[in-house]
Every structure is written in C-alpha cells, then in structure tokens.
Structure 1
Amino acid sequence: MRLPVQRAMQVCPVEVAVSVLGGTWKLTLVKHLLDGRRRFNELGRLVPLANTKTLTRQLRELEEDGIVRRTVHDRVPPHVDYALTDLGRSLAPIVGAMDAWGASFAEGQGP
C-alpha cells in the first residue's frame, strides 16, 4: 500500500478515498475503464489534456492501490492493456454519480 494511503487511513475513510482517487485524471481513467479494457494510447486519446508522464504515473498508482490491472501480452510489438479490478469496478456508482453531478453543475455554470 502506498504511503499516502497508509497516512490517510489514520485520519478518515474519506481521506483514504481521496488519497486513492484524488490524483490528476484518476477518476476520468476509471470512468473510461468502466467501459472495458483499454490500451495506453487509447486512454491517452480519451484524455487528450493529460500528458504521457502523468497518465503513466496515475495508472501505476491505480495499479498499486488495486484499482487497475495492467496486462502485458507476449507479442511483438509489446501489447499492454489496462482493466479495472473488482475493487475498481465497485467504483461504478460513485463515478456515475460524480459524472452526473459534474454535468449538471456544468450546465448551470454557463457564461
């Protein structure tokens, strides 16, 4: 378990959730992975504002925290894909609620 998550466990369950999911683009990555397996470049196209370094770091953290599973397929060129674990899929109702809330908020915040 990552140190920030361990520290959050000493504070509050909300802080644990924020520590696991609060990184840049993490919830967006989970949202896209709810639709099924994705390759790295596909995730990059779905989150065009995220740079490669950030996506790599966030996916590694999600993997370390047990939210995402990274699979390397033995072929040339190498083929790597990402999928949610059971724990990651358990986030579906939370991500769905946040997506709906964000859409509603955005609609009410026009110029």
Structure 2
Amino acid sequence: MPPRGRLFLIDGSALAYRSYFAFVRNPLINSRGENTSAPFAFTNTLLKILREERPEYIVVVFDTSKPTFRHAKFPAYKATRQKMPSDMKEQLPRIYQIIEAMRLPV
C-alpha cells in the first residue's frame, strides 16, 4: 500500500493565543494604529509548517464560543479560562482572512 501523506491539524485557537501573547509587551502596530501582532506571528508559524514539514493535508480548527459535549461531561471544562483580551479579539478576523487567502480549510 502506498504512503497516504501526512495530515496536520492546527489548533487555531491555541496558535492565535500564542501568537498574540508573543508580542504582548512589544506589539506590532500598522500605519492605521491597528495591532497586527497575532496575524503576523500566526502567519509566520503556518508558513514555517508548510515550508519545513510539507504536509499533504492541513486543516486549521478553532474553539467554538458555544458549549460542547465536553462542557456537558465536565462542567469545569475551561471554567477558569479568562475572557479573551479585546485587543486579541479584534485581530481574529484578520487571522481568518489570512487562512482563507491561503486556501486552508477551517
């Protein structure tokens, strides 16, 4: 049987948080005064994965804002997680646009 190729599942929520907090002390601000730190770091990480790992398949997944089966089975699931910083929330649409432009399934 021939090899099938590798599938990379990217935890988009975790990567977005990591990307945001990587620049939290020294954010990247564009000429319009918008913080672009998270999209910059998110994109760099995706490009590095694509360049170095060369996956045949790649999908980016994000947490949902609605409760899931995990909440039903374990009420304390993410109960202590703090609310997303508003500055980070503002950057998410740009991250989604980048993923769409790269034609990666979400």
TM-score w.r.t. the length of structure 2 is 0.29
- Tell me which of the two structures has the higher relative contact order, counting C-alpha pairs closer than 8 angstroms and 6 or more residues apart: 2
Higher Rg = 2
TM-score w.r.t. the length of structure 1 is 0.28
